[in-house]
Amino acid sequence: MNFWEQQRVVVTGGKGFLGTHVVAALQARGAAALHIANLPDCNLCEVADVRRMLAAARPTLVIHLAARVGGIGANRANPAVFFYENLMMGVPLVHECWRAGVQKMVLLGTICAYPKFTPVPFQEEHLWDGYPEETNAPYGLAKKMLLVQSQAYRQQYGFNSIFLLPVNLYGPGDNFNPEHSHVIPALIKKCVEAREAGADSITVWGDGSATREFLFVRDAAEGILLAAEKYNDSAPVNLGSHFEISIKDLVTLIARLTGFHGRLIWDTTQPNGQPRRKLDVSRAEKLFGFHARTDFEAGLRETIAWYESARKKEEGRRF
């Protein structure tokens, strides 16, 4: 508690999916001086906005969560936007934080930064062993540059920043917009709507063979804060659940939990994405004592319940 009571904290993207959970966890830890940097008040792609925000908040610690994110479809449709905005939200921010005398930064990368055919489970040592999976490489590489910058600024300036690599997140408050959502919210939305419409089938991208690892959002928030408290090096650190599931099994599970009993149609003209994703999470446990606590099915149940409740509220506002 004393650690956070002594900090003036800025959270970029603090009103987003992960950001709201990180802010709640910070408040629970007693962080009194807390500033959220979000659009439209602060556009991180504009250096003038970054400088104005830092001058006003005078942070000792910055947690950089802001990002332009989306699923395979959004990444394929907007590779230039995903590259430019994620690079420009991060690289100038780190530079200006160093110039402003910020004592520490927590930088979030992405599992998409790993090479397409990384040996499973992904170890941090293999991060530079090849090119990322093509559909999200621009996003993954833009975020990966923060690791390069973190290490360079530590080497030359002694600037204390850390770089975390979370797997795909899920949980209450996720983005369910079909144009931008990731796989779990997209599947929940599809199954719930099909159930309510009485549809006899849903269509899913790929062939179901790809695997993914998912981390419940509150577990991710806990890992980020533990790293902020206890870790002070620029070697990258994975944040994951150490649980791998195929997309086929994931769809089957979500269909069961949402009460959809129709057929699953696999559209094999659409990409699978990276063949497998599962992290080695031993470094996070060793360096700052993090391990995920949320059972996957329990986390899915909570996410589905949140979505159905939010959907009913939205329908109520329309009438």
Percent pLDDT > 90 in the chain is 87
The tens digit of pLDDT for each residue in 30-67 reads: 998 999 998 888 999 999 999 999 999 999 999 999 99
Mean pLDDT of the chain: 94
Using an 8 Å Cβ cutoff, are 139 and 76 in contact?
no
pLDDT of 202 over the 70 cut: yes
The whole-number pLDDT of residue 1 equals 55
Mean pLDDT of 124-143: 95
Q: From the candidates 114, 131, 139, 153, which is the catalytic residue?
A: 139
pLDDT in tens, 57-82: 999 999 999 999 887 788 889 999 99
Task: Specify the long-range contacts of residues 118-125, CB closer than 8 Å, at least 24 apart.
Answer: 120/244, 120/276, 120/277, 120/278, 121/242, 121/278, 121/279, 121/280, 121/281, 122/238, 122/277, 122/278, 122/279, 122/280, 123/238, 123/280, 124/165, 124/235, 124/236, 124/237, 124/238, 124/280, 124/283
Active site residue 231: no
Reference 104, options 51, 170, 146, 161; nearest CA is 161
pLDDT digits (tens, 9 = 90+) for 294-309: 999 999 999 999 999 9
270 pLDDT higher than 80: yes
Q: Is the pLDDT of residue 12 over 80?
A: yes
**pTM listed for this prediction:** 0.93
Structural domains in the chain, sorted by start: 2-318 (3.40.50.720)
| The predicted structure's pLDDT at residue 71 | 77
Binned at pLDDT 50, 70 and 90, residue 318 comes out as low
